[in-house]
Structure 1
Amino acid sequence: MEYSYPIRPDWSTAEIIAVAAFYEAVEKAYESGIPGEELMVAYLGFKKVVPSMAEEKTLCKEFEDASGYVCYPVVQAAKKADGMEEIKGMPSR
């Protein structure tokens, strides 16, 4: 699937890498599964760049529109998981 990650032009290279790592972790959850701890590390990196819940929702919606992958359920599953428990997402399309 070809699509672009939603990013902001004012982000630094390190911030873009952190946000892209989160999007990649969400993709991995849907495509093959990902340890909850790995997803949470990526999410915490994302939250350092995007601390606002409103902006998080906007970016995740843009990501969902582009990819079909929904961030919220996999992040919630990772928050409830026991460390290395595998997180898998269900396709929304």
Structure 2
Amino acid sequence: MEYQYPIHYSWSTDEIVDVIKFFEAIEKAYEKGIERDELMKVYRRFKEIVPSIAEEKTLCGEFEEISGYSSYRTIKKAKEASSGDKIKM
């Protein structure tokens, strides 16, 4: 994709990499499908970096605006799925 991921420059390099991995996992759910457990692992790490619900909504909203992919709907579907399921949006 040809766009920039929403990130905060106050984050460490590792945190930026992990947030980008989360957004890449959302892309993968839409484009090919992703294992639920893999998606939830990157989401849990994302929540360690972005614990605020308001900040999460802002970042995910920015990502959806530029990509068309909804992090909210993808994570909601993953939370409703069982371990081992594949998430395909």
* Fold agreement, TM-score > 0.5: yes
Structure 1: stretches of 5+ with no match in the other structure:
none
Give 3-state SS (helix, strand or coil) of 2:4's partner: coil
State the AA in 2 paired with 1:72. Answer: Y
TM-score by length of structure 1 reads: 0.92
Structure 2 CA distance for aligned equivalents of residues 77 and 83 of structure 1 = 12
Give 3-state SS (helix, strand or coil) of 1:48's partner: helix
Structure 2: stretches of 5+ with no match in the other structure:
none
> Runs (4+) of structure 1 moved beyond 3 Å?
none
Deviations 1:44-83 (A, max 9, x none): 0100000000000000000001111000111011111111
TM-score by length of structure 2 reads: 0.96
Deviations 1:22-59 (A, max 9, x none): 00100000000001111100100100000000000000
Say whether 1:45 aligns with 2:31: no
State the AA in 2 paired with 1:86. Answer: K
State the AA in 2 paired with 1:29. Answer: A
